Amino acid sequence: MTIRQNYKEYTVSFSVSRCGHVVPSKQLGFSLVELGVVVAIIGVIATIAAPNINRSLESQRNKSTAQTIVAAMKEARAESMMRRQDVTLTLTGNNATLTVAGTTLKNFNISTSTPVTTSSGAATVVFLANKRVNPASTFTVACDSEGTRAGRVVAVDVNGNVSLRSENSQC
C-alpha cells in the first residue's frame, strides 16, 4: 500500500494473520534486553543518588528544628518585654513551651528525629522582664537521630540575644 502525503511517498507493509487480523510486518516496541538495560541504569543512578538525598533530608530537618528553637526564643523574649513578666521557655522531647506564671502561652513542635542537647544540661531558659536571660544557654541540634553528628548551634546570651550558627556543622 502506498500513501501520498505532501508529495512524499511512504510505503507501509502489512501482513494478515491466520485469524484474519491485519498486523504490521515490522515489530514495534522494546526488546526485553533493552528494557533490562534501562532498568539497570536507573538502578545504578538511584544507588548513587540515595545517600545524597538522605543527607539533604537530615540537613533540612536539622535546619528546621534549629529555626523553630530560634523562633521560640525570640517570641519568649518579645512576650517578656510586652508583658513585663518573666517568660519561661522549656524544651522537652518534641516541644518548646512558653509559660508565664504557670500558664502556657504557646507550644512549638520540634522534630523528634533531631535530638537537641544543652550546654548547661538544663532545658529551661527564663527571659526576665528586664530583657535579660537566666541562664545564658547554648543548644546543639544534632544531624542524625543518634545525636552523634553535631549540627547547628542555637545560643542565647545573658542580654537575650539569640543567634544561630552552623560552624563545624557535619550536616
**162-165 and 133-134 beta bridge pairing:** unpaired
The type of residue at 108 is: F
In this prediction, residue 71 carries a pLDDT of 92
CB of 98 within 8 A of CB of 87? yes
d(C-alpha 123, C-alpha 142), whole Å: 15
* Domain ranges, ordered by start, for the chain: 32-165
d(C-alpha 138, C-alpha 106), whole Å: 21
The whole-chain average pLDDT of the chain stands at: 80
3-state SS, 20-70, equals CCEEECCCCCCCHHHHHHHHHHHHHHHHHHHHHHHHHHHHHHHHHHHHHHH
pLDDT above 80 for 107: yes
In this prediction, residue 29 carries a pLDDT of 73
Q: What is the CATH number of domain 32-165?
A: 3.55.40.10
- Which position has the grid cell 500513501? 3
Write the pLDDT tens digit of every residue in 22-67: 666 566 677 899 999 999 999 999 888 877 787 788 888 888 888 8
Q: Which residue would you say has higher pLDDT here, 96 or 26?
A: 96
In this prediction, residue 140 carries a pLDDT of 77
In this prediction, residue 11 carries a pLDDT of 60
- Most confident range, picked from 72-86, 108-122, 154-168: 72-86
Enter the pTM of the model: 0.67
In this prediction, residue 48 carries a pLDDT of 87
Confidence band for 169, pLDDT divided at 50, 70 and 90: low
In this prediction, residue 62 carries a pLDDT of 84
In this prediction, residue 115 carries a pLDDT of 75
Q: State what percent of residues in the chain have pLDDT above 70.
A: 74
Hey, what's the torsion of the CAs at 140, 141, 143, 147, to 10 degrees? 70
d(C-alpha 74, C-alpha 112), whole Å: 21
DSSP per position, 73-123: HHHHHHHHHHHTS-EEEEEETTEEEEEETTEEEEEEE--TTS-EEESSS--
d(C-alpha 133, C-alpha 56), whole Å: 34
Cα 59 to its chain centre, rounded Å, is 7
